[in-house]
């Protein structure tokens, strides 16, 4: 369930009914007799007199023990094709109703919302909301309210109207947009809520206690829908797209260099109902562009960088395929591992061919792999069986190469199919579920010797169990998974030696690289148990990844060869008390080992958060790292002890109801021995000068250094040198957003982010005793006579064995990376779910002067080669 700040209570206008809060209400609807109401926000149509009003009598937040402060009523009617809903929201101070504008799926100002559990499974639901300004919101609810998917965009109609006593809303929701069974007499779960924005009060028709776990399972009942025929959905959404790209570096000698590139394409998205509750979503020649660019990031620690999915086809109904290897309230660096990570599909080609303009060799290769088509089958039956199947095929990609004497093409990505299947079954009166997921990746590598470093196939699968008892207060999660990858000896050896596995570690007696293997297998699993009801709540669990687990062909896996235990406990004060509306104090403990039994991690975290009576918000945290022994810091070397230390910080935000909101944060810490330190600070300003205009500005600056930054591994005969040094790093990020809403259906959005990060290396050292507690013994520094630097070539030379010869060299690792990305988007929803886009994307990246600090480098942002992309896209959604 979406969370809201907890406010002071206003004067009670409506008293509680006679039945207790544990009793769930029932609403009896009727089939309308006569013409359907006109959806114009005016609820004076006589047809609405056919059913009585129902009242929202329960406050959910800030205090579920108090009555509501404003009266709210609703009615529901239906015919053979549609549900009709009317709302009357009274307000004793109607001039204070907040009517801010936003685009679809925003929740600006005051709004009302209705949720249907049409499966009546107490776990999933369909949510429809309307703000007083006419902004439409819709979300698919899953996992009993743990997930709200705003990317679900059904085809429905609504209008809102403000008047002297509050506001009214009318809505028409086609049955084709819902999923339900074939029974002649339908019985659904129902919840209706209202947000009073200025009081940040949420009221509900069916009572929900704050100390109870679950949302959909707390719904009341909708009865009276008789003899309707479930309609199989049939929707088609063709699109046309035109694109012009200009700018960038132009080279007249490069045959592939263009001052301007143009592109035009057409495609089709669609949905076809197989049954009334199972549908196929498909896309042909999809446009997988995204409006907001990925944030700037640079990787120094070796771990993969995770970017969230923003492409519409993969985002919508993504919860069906969600399979986290570890779900934990405590968090942890393993909770981001996913069995299915959709950004593997259509990513950057696996092979990169370097050009050599000096010698007349020019290369043109695609930036991303082309997705030929994709389809999803999804749905849920009345018996509680949910099904999700996804299949996608990406094209064989070629790089064009022009040499002095010839032209040729080389394969950089093979034809590849990706498949995911997910099945879950509810049981135990819908309090529990068991599920299975399977994934496959198959690549056509036949005759492509240059691509033999890739797996020709990758398979993974998992089972998961969620069991709840004692009115869903207690919960247990269990999952087990396994994987297998197959390929050439080269491919499997590469996997064994990759950063996630590091079978070559010299001190790992349980590991070893086998260069003759053509497959690799592994397993993983998690178990957690917790109590989430009451004032004291907790969860504890354990998780593991075997050394051979490999899912990165289609999933996201950051680490293997680990066993972790964790525990989380919290004291929650949910109701207003003193200066607080709500507050919470959390504690977390983390322990970790590798499969050889070596203790790696011992950490503790405590954090507090509070919402005050003046609607401001505060949180603070303290991390204590008492043991940190890394198995991948040396990129295949032995275990490395790192200095223990601490990190702390806070965040404070003013009242977000105001036209201007200000937030500030700061954090910092380091090792107890002073060899690492880090600081960060920033603020955010959000300003809404008009109901239709919202602005935000978020600068952030991080700085610090560490004396054990890995640089490279060098070999000199039988000797291996792990080169490290001190890095002093600065990162400056400036994020600007502006949203102007001409109407709820016509929005102009602007996003811009300059990103600058600089690293300067000094005090170069080598690895000594990796397990020594004294830093100087772990990393003895190179003496001045052992290290020399050639400024002309920017190369360091090392001679550390007292002879006259150079033992090895390395390039100057200093860097100053500059990136600018921006998007200007005009979005017009000219009819429900049919849109017209105009997009201007601008961006560039490159290297800056490493002698400048981050603030001085801001002036160099537009000295880079800036590329502009102009795009127009029109999509029409036809619904039967």
Residue 547 forms part of a structural domain: no
pLDDT at residue 53 tops 90: yes
Mean pLDDT for the stretch of residues 278-303? 67
pLDDT at 582: 94
CATH number of the domain residue 40 falls in: 2.60.40.1190
pLDDT at 672: 96
Last residue of a domain, one of 226, 260, 285: 226
Residue 292 forms part of a structural domain: no
Mean pLDDT for the stretch of residues 460-469? 96
Residue 811 forms part of a structural domain: yes
pLDDT at 333: 84
pLDDT at residue 379 tops 90: no
Residue 676 forms part of a structural domain: no
Residue 351 forms part of a structural domain: no
d(CA 545, CA 562): 5
pLDDT at residue 292 tops 60: no
Tokens of 163: 């008047």
Residue 134 forms part of a structural domain: yes
Rounded percentage of the chain residues whose pLDDT exceeds 90: 65
Q: What is the pLDDT of residues 696-716, one digit of tens each?
A: 999 999 999 999 999 999 987
Q: What is the pLDDT of residues 218-244, one digit of tens each?
A: 999 999 999 987 777 788 889 898 889
- The pTM of this model reads 0.85
Who contacts 101 (Cβ-Cβ below 8 Å, separation ≥6)?
A: 108, 133, 135, 691, 692, 741, 743, 744
Yes or no: say if 349 and 397 are a contact pair by the CB < 8 Å rule. Answer: yes
Q: How far is CA 509 from CA 353, 503, 550, 622, in A?
A: 38, 10, 20, 36
DSSP 453-478: TSEEEEEEEEEEEEEEETTTTEEEEE
pLDDT at 6: 34
pLDDT at 508: 93
pLDDT at 297: 59
Mean pLDDT for the stretch of residues 429-436? 92
Q: What is the pLDDT of residues 853-870, one digit of tens each?
A: 777 777 777 777 788 989
Residue 371 forms part of a structural domain: no
* DSSP conformational letter for 230: P
Yes or no: say if 466 and 475 are a contact pair by the CB < 8 Å rule. Answer: yes
Tokens of 94: 């109607």
Q: Which residues is 545 bridged to in the sheet?
A: 524, 562
Residue 149 forms part of a structural domain: yes
Rounded percentage of the chain residues whose pLDDT exceeds 70: 95
Mean pLDDT for the stretch of residues 446-454? 91
pLDDT at 20: 44
pLDDT at 851: 74
pLDDT at residue 513 tops 50: yes
pLDDT confidence tier of residue 293, bands split at 50, 70 and 90: low
pLDDT at residue 8 tops 50: no
Last residue of a domain, one of 183, 204, 226: 226
**Could you give the number of structural domains in the chain?**
2
pLDDT at 298: 61
Who contacts 472 (Cβ-Cβ below 8 Å, separation ≥6)?
A: 144, 212, 213, 214, 217, 431, 533
**Residue with the larger pLDDT of the pair 212 and 663:** 663
Domain that holds residue 154: 26-226
pLDDT at 22: 56
Dihedral over alpha carbons 328, 331, 334, 335 (to 10 degrees) = 60
At 144, is the secondary structure helix, strand, or coil?
Answer: helix
Last residue of a domain, one of 226, 261, 280: 226
The secondary structure of 696-729, three-state, reads EEEEEEEEEEEEEEEEEEEEECCEEEEEEEEEEE
**Residue with the larger pLDDT of the pair 415 and 22:** 415
pLDDT confidence tier of residue 605, bands split at 50, 70 and 90: very high
**491 conformational bin, left if phi > 0, alpha if psi -120 to 50, beta if neither:** alpha
């Amino acid at each position: 369930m979406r969370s809201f700040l907890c406010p002071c209570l206003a004067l009670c206008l409506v008293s509680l009914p006679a039945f207790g809060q544990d009793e769930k209400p029932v609403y009896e609807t009727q089939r309308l007799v006569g013409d359907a109401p006109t959806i114009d926000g005016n609820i004076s149509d006589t047809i609405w007199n056919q059913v009585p009003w129902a009242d929202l009598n329960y406050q959910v937040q800030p205090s579920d023990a108090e009555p509501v402060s404003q009266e709210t009523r609703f009615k529901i009617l239906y015919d053979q094709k549609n549900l009709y809903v009317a709302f009357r929201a009274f307000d004793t101070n109607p001039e204070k109703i907040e009517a801010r504008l936003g685009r679809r799926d925003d929740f600006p100002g005051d709004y009302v919302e209705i949720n249907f559990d049409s499966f009546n499974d107490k776990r999933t639901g369909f949510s429809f909301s309307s703000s007083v300004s006419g902004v439409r919101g819709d979300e698919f609810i899953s996992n009993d309210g743990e997930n709200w998917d705003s990317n679900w965009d059904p085809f429905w109609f609504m209008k809102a109207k403000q008047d002297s006593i509050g506001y009214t809303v009318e809505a028409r929701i086609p049955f084709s947009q819902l999923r339900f069974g074939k029974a002649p007499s339908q019985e659904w779960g129902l919840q209706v809520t209202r947000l009073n924005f200025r009081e940040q009060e949420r009221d509900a028709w069916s009572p929900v206690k704050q100390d109870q776990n679950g949302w959909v399972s707390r719904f009341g009942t909708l009865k009276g829908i008789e003899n309707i025929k479930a309609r199989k959905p049939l929707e088609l959404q063709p699109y046309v797209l035109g694109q012009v790209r200009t700018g960038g570096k132009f080279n007249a000698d490069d045959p592939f260099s263009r001052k301007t590139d143009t592109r035009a394409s057409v495609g089709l998205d669609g949905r076809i109902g197989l049954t009334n509750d199972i549908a196929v979503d498909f896309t042909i020649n999809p446009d997988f562009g995204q409006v907001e660019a990925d944030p700037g990031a640079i990787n120094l620690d070796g771990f993969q960088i995770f970017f969230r999915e923003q492409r519409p086809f993969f985002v919508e109904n993504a919860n069906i395929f969600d399979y986290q290897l570890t779900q934990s309230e405590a968090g942890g660096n393993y909770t981001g591992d996913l069995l299915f990570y959709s950004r593997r599909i259509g990513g950057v080609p696996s092979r990169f061919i370097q050009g050599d303009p000096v010698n007349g060799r020019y290369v043109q290769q695609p930036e991303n792999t082309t997705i030929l088509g994709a389809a999803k089958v999804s749905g849920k039956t009345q018996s509680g069986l949910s099904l999700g199947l996804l299949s996608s095929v990406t094209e064989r990609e070629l790089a064009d190469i022009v040499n002095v004497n010839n032209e040729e093409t080389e394969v950089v990505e093979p034809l590849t199919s990706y498949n995911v299947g997910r099945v879950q079954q509810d049981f135990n009166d819908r309090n529990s579920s068991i599920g299975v997921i399977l994934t496959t990746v198959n690549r056509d590598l036949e005759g492509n010797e240059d691509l033999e470093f890739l797996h020709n196939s990758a398979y993974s699968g998992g089972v998961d169990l969620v069991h709840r008892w004692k009115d869903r207060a207690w919960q247990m999660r269990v999952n087990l998974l396994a994987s297998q990858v197959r390929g050439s000896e080269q491919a499997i050896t590469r996997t064994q030696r990759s950063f996630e596995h590091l079978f070559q570690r010299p001190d790992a007696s349980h590991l070893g690289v086998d260069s003759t293997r053509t497959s690799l297998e592994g397993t993983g699993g998690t178990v957690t148990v917790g109590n989430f009801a009451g004032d004291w709540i907790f969860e504890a669990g354990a998780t593991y990844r075997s050394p051979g687990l490999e899912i990165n062909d289609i999933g996201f896996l950051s680490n293997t060869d680990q066993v972790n235990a964790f525990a989380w406990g919290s004291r929650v004060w949910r109701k207003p008390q003193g200066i607080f509306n709500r507050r919470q104090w959390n504690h977390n403990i983390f322990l970790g080992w590798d499969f050889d039994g070596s203790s790696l991690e011992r950490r503790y975290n405590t954090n507090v958060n509070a919402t005050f009576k003046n609607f401001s918000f505060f949180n603070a945290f303290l991390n204590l790292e008492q043991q940190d022994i890394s198995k991948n810091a040396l990129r295949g070397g032995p275990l490395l002890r790192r200095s223990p230390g601490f990190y702390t910080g806070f965040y404070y935000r003013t009242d977000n109801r105001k036209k201007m909101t200000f937030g500030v944060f700061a954090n910092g810490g380091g090792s107890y021995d002073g060899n690492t330190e880090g600081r960060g600070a920033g603020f955010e300003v959000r300003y809404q000068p008009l109901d239709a205009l919202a602005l935000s500005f978020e600068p952030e600056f991080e700085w610090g250094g560490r004396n054990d930054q890995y640089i490279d591994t060098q070999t000199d005969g039988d000797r291996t040198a792990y080169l490290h040094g001190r890095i002093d790093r600065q990162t400056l990020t400036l994020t600007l957003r502006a949203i102007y809403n001409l109407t709820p259906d016509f929005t102009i959005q602007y996003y811009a982010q300059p990103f600058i990060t600089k690293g300067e290396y000094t005090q170069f050292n080598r690895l000594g005793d990796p397990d020594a507690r004294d830093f100087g013994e772990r990393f003895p520094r190179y003496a001045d006579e052992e290290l020399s630097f050639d400024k002309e070539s920017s190369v360091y030379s090392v001679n550390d064995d007292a002879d006259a010869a150079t033992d090895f060299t390395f390039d100057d690792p200093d860097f100053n990376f500059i990136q600018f990305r921006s998007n200007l988007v005009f979005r017009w929803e000219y009819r429900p779910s049919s849109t017209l886009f105009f997009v201007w994307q601008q961006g560039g990246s490159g290297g800056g002067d490493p002698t400048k600090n981050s603030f001085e480098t801001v002036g160099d942002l537009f000295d880079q080669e800036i590329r502009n992309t102009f795009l127009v896209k029109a999509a029409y959604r036809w619904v039967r």
